[in-house]
Structure 1
């Protein structure tokens, strides 16, 4: 109860800039919770063994069976590869790139918002610092030095706003780095598996062409 009263008191002393900071912190918390739940779910849905089974089928030339093996999987790798294999008659590479782009777009959702908050929050705190110092100088100019609290109130406003802005940025930076790292790892996995599928598919196609050429020549 006492700590809650202290936070409310600090918020009030921080001045008008505390309202944008409150909005910023609320938005940051919402994005962190949403992205945290997304990645927790995504990592739980990984099925690397199923993906490897599909690659083994593809290596044996069973393209449709490989795509069938990936059906129903929520693994983001499996979804991307399934989309590519289902459109291999058109452009396997193009289909894989389209699917990978869609997966990465889902994974990078709201990260620009969090990145903006990391930059914006300290700037808002700095703006609050300027307002607080201006308030203190105004008190001095009005010859109200007989009431030191009137002057120190502006300094407190400046320090509180700066502290809150820095706290929001620090609080947001660590999750942002974590989510960005996970995104880069997912991009690397998608590129690796897409390349693997293309190599297996093209290799099998080359073998079939060679077999057909030998049959014709015979």
Structure 2
């Protein structure tokens, strides 16, 4: 990122740093979308399994000789689907939050580094202007001579 900013310092340094930071943040968070989808989708798939299991259970209620065994099998299927969906979401949520926090910290560090670089370059430019102005005689000094 710093190389990109220094490389484009004659054009818009701020824009070059923003582009470079955006590229780094996008690269760091490239798998967060997949994890977010997993965290969101797993409970929904568990709910879908619950619904299909309950539908299966209720479809056997008319048949009295298989009703108890079929209903309990469907309820077990529903509970397993719910537990799997919630388990996947819970276990995926922990690393998702960890990596989201890391990307946020990276974004903050990149913004801080970019700001420090801009301030440093502005200070250098100001020092250069002061040095140049101190070498050239001022108009007041020339007029009095």
CA distance in 2, matches of 1:209, 1:101: 32
Shift of 1:89: 1.5
- SS of the residue corresponding to residue 102 of structure 2 reads helix
Instruction: Give the equivalent residue in structure 1 for 2:36.
Output: 115
Describe the superposition over 1:16-62 as per-residue Cα deviations: whole angstroms up to 9, x where unpaired. Answer: xxxxxxxxxxxxxxxxxxxxxxxxxxxxxxxxxxxxxxxxxxxxxxx
Shift of 1:214: 3.2
Alignment of 1:155 onto 2:75: yes
Alignment of 1:138 onto 2:51: no
Instruction: Give the equivalent residue in structure 2 for 1:175.
Output: 95
Describe the superposition over 1:124-160 as per-residue Cα deviations: whole angstroms up to 9, x where unpaired. Answer: 101111111111111003x2x3222111111011001
Instruction: Give the equivalent residue in structure 2 for 1:9.
Output: none
Instruction: Give the equivalent residue in structure 1 for 2:23.
Output: 102
Matches within 5 A, 1:183-198: 183-198=103-118
CA distance in 1, matches of 2:12, 2:47: 53
Q: Calculate the TM-score normalised by the size of structure 1.
A: 0.60
- SS of the residue corresponding to residue 10 of structure 2 reads helix
Structure with higher Rg: it is 2
CA distance in 2, matches of 1:133, 1:153: 10
Matches within 5 A, 1:6-45: none
Runs (5+) with no aligned partner, structure 1: 1-79
Runs (5+) with no aligned partner, structure 2: 139-145
Describe the superposition over 1:88-111 as per-residue Cα deviations: whole angstroms up to 9, x where unpaired. Answer: 111221111111111001001021
Q: CA RMSD in A?
A: 1.2
